[in-house]
Amino acid sequence: MAAMTTPRVPIPTNGVDYRGKIVLAPMVRSGELPSRLLALHYGADLVWGPETIDRALIGTSRRVNPRNGIIEFTRGQGSIIYRIDPVREKGRLVFQIGTASPELAVEAAKIIAPDVSGIDVNSGCPKPFSTSGGMGAALLRTPDKLVSILIALVDEVGKPFQIGISVKIRILETPEETKALVTRLVKTGITGLTVHCRTTPMRPRERAIRDQLRMVADVCHEAGVACVMNGDVTSRNEGLELMKEYGADGAMIATSAEANSSCFRPEGSLLPWKDVVHAYLRTCMEVENRLGNTKYLLNMLVPSKEFQHSKSSKSYYDFCHALEFDDLVPAALQVDENMNLTHKSVFKNSAPIQKQEPEEVDLSLPSQSAQQAVAA
């Protein structure tokens, strides 16, 4: 008698299989380009970008920054909506879309599809800016609409662009409700489903509920769809252990990655905060990250007592000066000039400045386990 084989939805040519992966969760502000690149640097297998609303992407123009090769989707007078590193994120970036309309979802997804490996529909965000428009967790209450969005994306984006379509949900109040929803979703042609093990009213400080996880994984597996777990996963090693315990195919890290992205390291131990911050700041300068976003993440990465000197920083030179990263000063001066931040500096005259020519500044991150992730 032939052995039974588990069915699998085929992974499109330009798509990516979520199985066996430890990934960075989609997070507003914390999922911008530098955070994603740092997660990959430390060993994340895949990264999700922050939820981007369909209407925000529709009407944008695609351009390439001539200084660093970063792909930028812009609107109006250069307002940047989304950014991609076409080299380091190639084959490892999943774009998460916020939508409540099959038509708008398809229109937006077609714009970004050539540059990503997957489109993920957000149906788990509980925040009013998302749910008030019928998006995010509101879609859990309108399953017919959610199904129609997924089918439209699979047929009109996934197939022609040969990338995977997936969805991220939360558990519902009862296992029966969750099972009924997941059973419908896995029949739409999606390649992956991420389940956040919290209900919509729950907040991150409340402990994740994993009682329904194995059931969700089983339903996904019966349809050949990969199941990724999310909620209180703190490291790569813990994610791998939880995957075995509950039968999930992958694990997604959120809050822990905000605090220290070296949580993705296969070695299992966190690096000192200053090492991580040095690598993060260097990456921010390399991709010319918006200073406000850089400051927001530094506030999370740097211990509060140590961050006091950086609070008034208004340029990359200021951050390097306050954090005593003297080796990054030449690069900071060049980036400040490129981004028109030089005149805003509050510390520039507090220390001697030795400016180097741009070609002498090496901003590249040293190769680490991210290279192993590519081959995984």
d(CA 293, CA 32): 8
pLDDT the model gives residue 221: 99
Closest CA to 158 of 97, 215, 214: 97
Q: Each residue of 158-211: pLDDT tens digit?
A: 999 999 999 999 999 999 999 999 999 999 999 999 999 999 999 989 999 999
The two tokens of residue 289 are 């990250």
pLDDT band for position 367 (50/70/90)? very low
The two tokens of residue 63 are 């351009």
Q: Each residue of 19-33: pLDDT tens digit?
A: 999 999 999 999 999
Mean pLDDT across the chain, nearest whole number?
92
d(CA 361, CA 307): 26
Is 320 a residue of the active site?
A: no
Burial of residue 191, with CB atoms counted within 10 A of its CB: 0-12 exposed, 13-18 middle, 19 or more buried: buried
Q: Each residue of 95-112: pLDDT tens digit?
A: 999 999 999 999 999 999
- Concatenating the DSSP letter of every residue in 76-135 gives TTTEEEEEE-TTTTTTTEEEEEE-S-HHHHHHHHHHHGGG-SEEEEEE---SHHHHTTT-
Ordered structural domains, the chain, with CATH: 21-264 (3.20.20.70), 273-344 (no CATH)
pLDDT the model gives residue 318: 96
Closest CA to 220 of 171, 253, 184: 184
pLDDT at 91 over 80: yes
pLDDT at 363 over 80: no
pTM, 2 dp:
0.91
